Amino acid sequence: MSVQLHDRFGRSFPYLRLSLLEACNFRCSYCLPEGFRATAGRPRPLDAEEIRRLLAGFAHLGLRKLRYTGGEPSLRRDLPELIRIAAATPGIERVALTTNGTRLPERVAVWRTAGLTHLNVSVDALERERFATITGHDRLPEILEGIEQALTLGYAAIKLNAVLLRGLNDDQLPQWFDYLRERRVSVRFIELMQTGDNLAYFQRHHLRAESLEALLMARGWRLLPRAADAGPAREYQHADYAGRIGIIAPYSKDFCAGCNRLRVTSLGDLRLCLFGNVGIPLRPLLQCDTQLPQLVATLGGQMSLKQLGHRLDAGETGLTPNLSTIGG
Ligand code: SAM
């Protein structure tokens, strides 16, 4: 019987996002516009054994849903093994992956067999040229083909992430409507977030989601009641469409009230918030199985430091230079 992690505000944390590496093969203009550059002497990411121990510790504290992210997690050759480790951890019911989708055509069936249950693919535009401009890579057709494959494999949910960018992809709604008519996927429009590296870009391209939501409602989309264990998305559905549309608006009031997630970086640092200023290293506690009680006690002890919400409105982006370092 596991105990639950709780903070001072009565929130519990059954959800962990673990970054598997910092490296990424894309150059998204809002995240890594110059591409990933390895830093000499930087430690290697957590290995499979360290990850197994980390998950065992969190599972002891009520972890039910794990998301692997990055960087680009599919660049790790041992990803199928990491999925199997997560799926075999008692207590973990959902194993999710956030990916840019470049490896979907050759890997998506392998991941499913290994135990992946939920898939999020980043698709910032449905027009090939726009996509290439935003991500730095002309690879939309193969990514869309990979999503078609995924749709046949029995994933519990497939979601597509699109960061809302003023002047770059804010006119793509008609294409998304066409895409969603027959496909049982949910597209998530995410408001661009300011990070340590992207202030000028943020000021140019940030767009609040309210105008988009007004447009959706005018077109007959209806806001669904929020499920008890739902994430922060406001989800819309329409009788004429198989797919759904979610809005993730981190700048909206009360966005953090339902926070149910913790994060661990690829080097094993705990982050209590995507935009927080604190994060202790867990790696020293992941070196042998007998350290489990110490890991569990440390995680429990950190909860008192979790703040009520981020301070993005005040321009405080915390320790995060860009989301590739911690995982979006
Ligand atoms: N490489 C994977 C991918 O492309 O999905 C996983 C890592 S990526 C950092 C995770 C998600 O964060 C992506 O959907 C990406 O679009 C989103 N993201 C990155 N920087 C962001 C920002 N500044 N604001 C909002 N979303 C961002």
Whole-number Å distance, alpha carbon 17 to ligand 1 midpoint, is 13
> What three-state secondary structure class fits 19?
strand
Q: What is the pLDDT of residue 116?
A: 98
Q: Are 187 and 242 contacting, i.e. CB atoms less than 8 angstroms apart?
A: no
pLDDT above 70: residue 203:
yes
- pLDDT mean across residues, the chain: 93
| Cβ–ligand 1 contact at 99 (below 6 Å) | yes
| Cβ–ligand 1 contact at 209 (below 6 Å) | no
Which tokens hold the place of 289? 């199985």
pLDDT above 60: residue 314:
yes
Crossing angle of helices 104-114 and 140-151, rounded to 10°: 30
| Cβ–ligand 1 contact at 279 (below 6 Å) | no
Whole-number Å distance, alpha carbon 274 to ligand 1 midpoint, is 12
pLDDT digits 0-9 by tens, 92-102: 999 999 999 99
Whole-number Å distance, alpha carbon 201 to ligand 1 midpoint, is 15
pLDDT digits 0-9 by tens, 157-169: 999 999 999 999 9
Which tokens hold the place of 270? 């705990």
Crossing angle of helices 292-302 and 48-60, rounded to 10°: 60
| Cβ–ligand 1 contact at 327 (below 6 Å) | yes
Distance in Å from the first CA to the final CA of the chain: 31
pLDDT above 90: residue 82:
yes
| Cβ–ligand 1 contact at 20 (below 6 Å) | no
Whole-number Å distance, alpha carbon 294 to ligand 1 midpoint, is 32
Which among 160, 94, 152 has a CA at the least distance from the CA of 124?
160
Give the ligand 1 atom nearest the CA of 19: 7
Whole-number Å distance, alpha carbon 291 to ligand 1 midpoint, is 33
Q: Whose CA is nearest to atom 10 of ligand 1?
A: 328
Measured CA to CA, the distance from residue 52 to residue 86 in angstroms comes to 7
Q: Whose CA is nearest to atom 4 of ligand 1?
A: 100
Asked whether the CA dihedral 277, 280, 283, 289 is positive or negative, the reply is negative
Q: How confident is the model at residue 202 (pLDDT cuts 50, 70, 90)?
A: very high
pLDDT above 60: residue 1:
no
At position 178, the amino acid (one-letter code) is: D
Q: Lowest-pLDDT range, 265-274, 287-296, 297-306, 308-317?
A: 308-317
pLDDT digits 0-9 by tens, 32-57: 999 999 989 999 999 999 999 999 99
Whole-number Å distance, alpha carbon 97 to ligand 1 midpoint, is 12
| Cβ–ligand 1 contact at 274 (below 6 Å) | no
| Cβ–ligand 1 contact at 187 (below 6 Å) | no
On the 0-12 / 13-18 / 19+ scale of CB atoms within 10 A, 301 is: exposed
Q: Lowest-pLDDT range, 1-10, 124-133, 176-185?
A: 1-10
pLDDT above 90: residue 235:
yes
Residues of the chain with pLDDT > 90, as a percent, come to: 80
State the pTM of this model: 0.96
pLDDT above 60: residue 257:
yes
Name residues whose C-beta falls within 8 Å of residue 43's C-beta, 6 or more positions apart in sequence: 267
Give the ligand 1 atom nearest the CA of 161: 14
